[in-house]
Chain A
Amino acid sequence: MMKHFRKAAAAALAAVLAAGLLAGCGGGSASGGSDGGSEGGAGITIFNSKMEIQDKLEEKAAEYSEEKGVPVEVYYSSDTVAAHLATRYSSNEPYTISMVDAKDVYALAAEHALDLSDQDWVANTTQAITIDGKTYGFPVCVEARGIIYNADAIKNATGKDFDPASIKTTDDFKAIIEECKKGGMESPVGVMKEDWSLAGHFLAEVYEQHDDPDAFIAGVKDGSIKLIEDQKFNDMMDTFDVLRDNNYAKDAAISAEREVTEQKLAEGEIAFMFGGNWDWSVINAYDYSENMGMMPVPNNSGDGTNEKLVGGGSKYFFIDSSENTSAEQQQAAKDFLNWLANDEEGQSFVVNDCALVPAFSNNTLEVTDPLGKSVKAYADAGALIGNYNYLPDDHYSVVGASMQKYLAGEIDRAGLADEITSYWAGAEVGAH
């Protein structure tokens, strides 16, 4: 009798333990399944990779759901975009609409994106991504790079109104910096040490300012172009030297923090920084000066590139084409993109709520932030040099490390050119 009882008790205990084990992991998978939200119905999911608009987008999505009767859920992840989407694809739960970078569209479109060529908005933008005659990428906004200036700070130092159009060459730039210094501003420049800024944005301008970036990179790759002898490279690095030598954090360039640099710029402690209109989302967190703006990176080449910002469409929406997304959902997704591009409310959302520069010519709302205004002005005047979207994924990191060494004075220009050249010897540009 006792023996039977013991046996039953042992079995019961083992069962309880096993149940506990299973419950622990069952809970996990259940919650994993429910946040997919893509199964059935016409509800759509949106993946947002632009952190600064997440709150606004969530709010708007709730309103939109209410109005149109289409449930819209918004997700955000700080992971690398491709890495995050990879996990969703491998669990067969893709987002209906995903916001990705241009290079991701080129990598993903063929297998995962819906052809949007027949949509109305295609005619109203020059920034959509089209591959082999099919349009896949819906441009979320226009972003551009250049030198951000604080005109109030410059006026305080020099006593004169600042006219950005007067700064065209590296020599002009040096002169205005000297003037600021004389006026009491010790070091008028901030340099972001982030690899994406140094290599992905600044060095990329060397490629992009060539008439044919593909040919230039191919030349560097096969050795027919010696980077250290290249006029454009030297012109741009001359300007970079001016930035570097007047950096407020010159002695500790690698430990300068982005937020601190942007705060100094916003509050007028420094006057210039290489960046883009996305920096506004950082600057506006501080007590910023009224008169700020963006100007092209000055250089001595005299080929007109010093009168244009570099940029274009930034962040693209694409709609999932797999069987995990129903035709109904795809239609709802198309409706949402149309609403964003053509509906008054959608247009206002892009410009007023998110403070983005619209990529569509029929969106004529006034851009509110000063950097965005500059970008819009250059874009409207056709003075944008297009982004080169086909840099390999490891470019910003590997070459960024070289640029950081140059910034810190660990290697000279010849050393930098060598490292960039040897990077390209083993790298392939993305398909396009």
Chain B
Amino acid sequence: MKRNTMSYKVQQFLMFAGAASVLFLAVVIIPFIYGIYLTLTSWDGIAKTKPFVGLANYVEAFKDVAYWQALGRTAIYSFFAVILINIVAFALAYLVTSGIKGQNFFRAGFFVPNLIGGIVLGYVWKFVFNRAFVAIGNAIAGGNVPSLLSTTSGAMFCLILVSVWQFAGYMMLIYVAGFMSVSDTLKEAAMIDGCTPTQAMFNVTIPLMRASFVQCIFLSITRCFVIYDVNLSLTKGEPFNTSVMAAMHVYNTAFTYKKYGLGQAEALILFAVCAIVGVTQVYIGKKGEVAA
């Protein structure tokens, strides 16, 4: 049988990827296209008719001040969270590959926060911030110390802290794999050539781990931009709706305020922003990648 005929290729594709493609089409591509259609309607999410309004929802989305505030807030949050997640994850990965005692135990330990769902995690931390920290603060300062979650910048700080705590363990695994992929011989050679361990780290190990960085930063950016679960259970947008992130604003607009079309349009803008940032980062990151 010839292997370069069209029918052979189609047959092979269907055999190996057919079912998955159909599913992907059914649960991702078609809903996505249908979602784009919905942005052109003024549907409220429940009515039988979906009046067509053209691009009105996009015009309204661009005029929705609360949305752009939420998006700006998300960008600030993502900026700090992504940097911190990766620094912490890299440090942890270094720690658990450096041969300390019980490093497998530590690997498992650092990874555990990632296994707890965002909702549960948010409630646990809410308790810590609202009760535990406040009780400690009251004991030290005396009187009624307000919770961190009750101030605008405090709530943002809490969100970043919890996200770092949650994601760092996951990214750590990727960095661990990165560390292990760098052959010891290269490092040894560098040391023989007169590198200090720090120089070897920055000039040999890190450049060879570039792929891990690209991957981790991409994953953390895309996850941070669409954060919802921790946002919902930890701050619920409070205080004064100043911790509402973009995804939460989209949810509220579409479902709570019953402007489904507008919410969908805003979700699409969020998707575009997220995709542009993510792809740009990967493009820049990949360009300078070196192979060992």
A10 to B239, CA, bound (A): 58
Inter-subunit contact A86/B45 (CB<8 Å): yes
Interface of A, secondary structure class, is: helix
Identity of the chain A residue whose Cβ is nearest the Cβ of B253 in the assembled complex: A394
Inter-subunit contact A255/B23 (CB<8 Å): no
User: Is B281 positioned at the interface, with any CB of A under 8 Å from its CB?
Assistant: no
User: Is B284 positioned at the interface, with any CB of A under 8 Å from its CB?
Assistant: no
Q: Which residues on B sit within 8 Å (CB–CB) of A392?
A: 257
Closest Cβ of chain A to B43, distance in Å, is: 10
From 14 to 57 in chain B, residues with beta carbon under 8 angstroms from any chain A beta carbon are 15-16, 18-20, 23, 27, 44-48
Query: Which listed residue (B46, B47, B240, B260) contacts A404, Cβ 8 A?
Result: B240
Inter-subunit contact B46/A80 (CB<8 Å): no
A408 with B150, Cβ < 8 A, contacts A18-B19, A86-B46, A401-B240 known: yes
Stretch from A34-42, A221-229, A246-254 at the B interface? A246-254
A398 with B241, Cβ < 8 A, contacts A14-B16, A82-B46, A255-B146 known: yes
Inter-subunit contact A83/B45 (CB<8 Å): yes
Inter-subunit contact B239/A394 (CB<8 Å): no
Inter-subunit contact B255/A21 (CB<8 Å): no
Identity of the chain A residue whose Cβ is nearest the Cβ of B44 in the assembled complex: A107
A252 with B150, Cβ < 8 A, contacts A18-B19, A89-B46 known: yes
Q: Which residues on A sit within 8 Å (CB–CB) of B19?
A: 17-18, 21-22
User: Is A410 positioned at the interface, with any CB of B under 8 Å from its CB?
Assistant: yes
Number of contacting residues on A, CB 8 A?
Answer: 39
User: Is B84 positioned at the interface, with any CB of A under 8 Å from its CB?
Assistant: no
Closest Cβ of chain A to B29, distance in Å, is: 15
A393 to B45, CA, bound (A): 13
A410 to B239, CA, bound (A): 11
Q: Which residues on B sit within 8 Å (CB–CB) of A82?
A: 45-46, 255-256, 258
User: Is A108 positioned at the interface, with any CB of B under 8 Å from its CB?
Assistant: yes
Q: Which residues on B sit within 8 Å (CB–CB) of A429?
A: none
Q: Flag A89-126 by CB within 8 Å of B: 1 or 0 each.
A: 10000000000000000011001100000000000000
User: Is A405 positioned at the interface, with any CB of B under 8 Å from its CB?
Assistant: yes
Query: Which listed residue (A80, A108, A252, A404) contacts B147, Cβ 8 A?
Result: A252
Query: Which listed residue (A14, A86, A111) contacts B15, Cβ 8 A?
Result: A14
Closest Cβ of chain B to A323, distance in Å, is: 12
Q: Flag A270-308 by CB within 8 Å of B: 1 or 0 each.
A: 000000000000000000000000000000000000000
Q: B residues engaging A (CB < 8 A)?
A: 15-16, 18-20, 23, 27, 44-48, 66, 130, 134, 143-147, 149-150, 237-242, 252, 255-258, 260
Q: Can you list 15 A-B pairs, Cβ within 8 angstroms, ordered by A? A: A21-B23, A22-B23, A80-B255, A82-B45, A82-B46, A86-B255, A89-B46, A249-B144, A252-B134, A252-B144, A254-B238, A255-B146, A401-B242, A404-B240, A405-B240
